[in-house]
A and B are shown apart, each in its own frame.
Chain A
Amino acid sequence: MIPVTHYLALAAILFVIGTCGVILQRNVLTMFMCIELMLNAVNLTFITFSRFLNQLDGQIFVLFVMTVAAAEAAVGLALIVILSRRADSLDVDQANTMKW
């Protein structure tokens, strides 16, 4: 049996990689993909605890997280399409009209 800490460490590493991606990347599509990566890392934590606590509620939560991610992808990609239409670029630094 692989210890629970190994799974949790892997999830933490994936989450940190996703966070770095959101901060480092300038391409709004890649930033969005990094957010999906972070959600997936959280899902891994849920499944791990579901396994080691011997309860299925964590898996239900993962299903809900996936549903919310799907809804988020639909709305987020619509926003990205509008952004690229207005700013003619996918670079988030170009979208600074409201920046003080």
Chain B
Amino acid sequence: MEYFVFYGLATVAVTAALVVVLMNRAIYSALALIVCFGAVAGLFFQLGAQFVAAVQIILYAGAIMVLFLFVIMLLDPQSEKFSPDQLKQVPFLALPCAAFLAFVLVQMTFQWSAGTSAPSVVQTSGSLQMDGNTESLARLLFRDYLLPFEITSILILSAVLGAVVLTRRPE
């Protein structure tokens, strides 16, 4: 059952990601990206990160993708096809990508699957048990990571100001 859920969600995520890359219209890419985010949120849920899964749906699939769809509708892009000279670069692209993927997969297969699993349970002072996900997450975020959390608000404020200043029409 667990494997069934994992491989189902993984297939949906990879297929949606391929659709994002290969579609000519930006609107189809955006819709496929929402599906991909939903599948990854399911994986988060399976991994015991319920709060992050909910935030993924609300923030990513909700807020950010609505922003994307808004801009796509606003600008109404014409379909941009892959030009022929663009497709000639595919081998140069495929080689490093395949090399990277093969390296990662081989590394994981041989180094971790053989004998002792590398990610053994490491308990440090800052670690918390996984039970009560949201509660322990909040405790960690508002105690140990309070300063980064506050700095994040400055980041968002400056991003909002930047967006407003950038899109303002010159008088």
Please pick, from B47, B64, B109, the residue contacting A5 in the complex, using a CB distance under 8 A. Answer: B109
Where the two chains meet, the residues of A that have a C-beta atom closer than 8 Å to any C-beta of B are 1-10, 12-14, 16-21, 23-27, 29-30, 32-34, 36-37, 40, 43-44, 47-57, 59-60, 62-64, 66-75, 77-82, 84, 90-91
Taking the complex as formed, is B83 at the interface, i.e. its CB lies under 8 A from any CB of chain A? yes
In the assembled complex, which residues on chain B have CB atoms less than 8 Å from the CB atom of A23? 89, 93
| Smallest CB separation, A54 vs chain B (Å) | 5
Q: Of B13, B60, B93, B159, which is within 8 A of A66 by CB?
A: B60
Q: Is B8 interfacial (CB 8 A cutoff)?
A: no
A70 adjacent to B26 (CB under 8 Å): no
B126 nearest in chain A by CB position: A57
CB–CB B122/A55 < 8 A: yes
B116 CB within 8 Å of chain A: no
Tier of interface size on chain B: 35 or more
CA distance A3 to B109 in the complex (A): 11
B residues contacting A by CB (< 8 A) are 2-3, 6, 10, 13-14, 17-18, 20-21, 23, 26, 29-30, 33, 36-37, 40, 43-44, 47-49, 51-52, 55-56, 59-60, 63-64, 67-68, 71-72, 74-75, 77-78, 80, 82-83, 86, 89-90, 93-94, 97, 100-101, 104-105, 108-109, 112-113, 117, 119, 121-124, 126-130, 133, 136-137, 140-141, 145, 148, 152, 155-156, 158-160, 162-163, 166-167
| Contact A40 to B152, CB < 8 A, known contacts A47-B52, A71-B159 | no
Contact A10–B26 (Cβ < 8 Å): no
Contacts A24-B21, A51-B49, A56-B137 given: A40-B60 contact, CB under 8 Å? yes
Contact among A1, A8, A75 with B104 in the assembled complex (CB-CB below 8 Å): A8
Give the shortest distance, in Å, between B41 (CB) and chain A (any CB). Answer: 10
Are B166 and A14 neighbours in the complex by a CB distance under 8 Å?
no
Q: Is the CB of B64 within 8 A of A40?
A: no
- Could you tell me the distance between the alpha carbons of A79 and B77 in the complex, rounded to whole angstroms? 15
Q: Could you tell me if B80 and A73 are in contact, using CB atoms closer than 8 angstroms? A: no
Contacts of B29 in A (CB 8 A): 29-30, 33
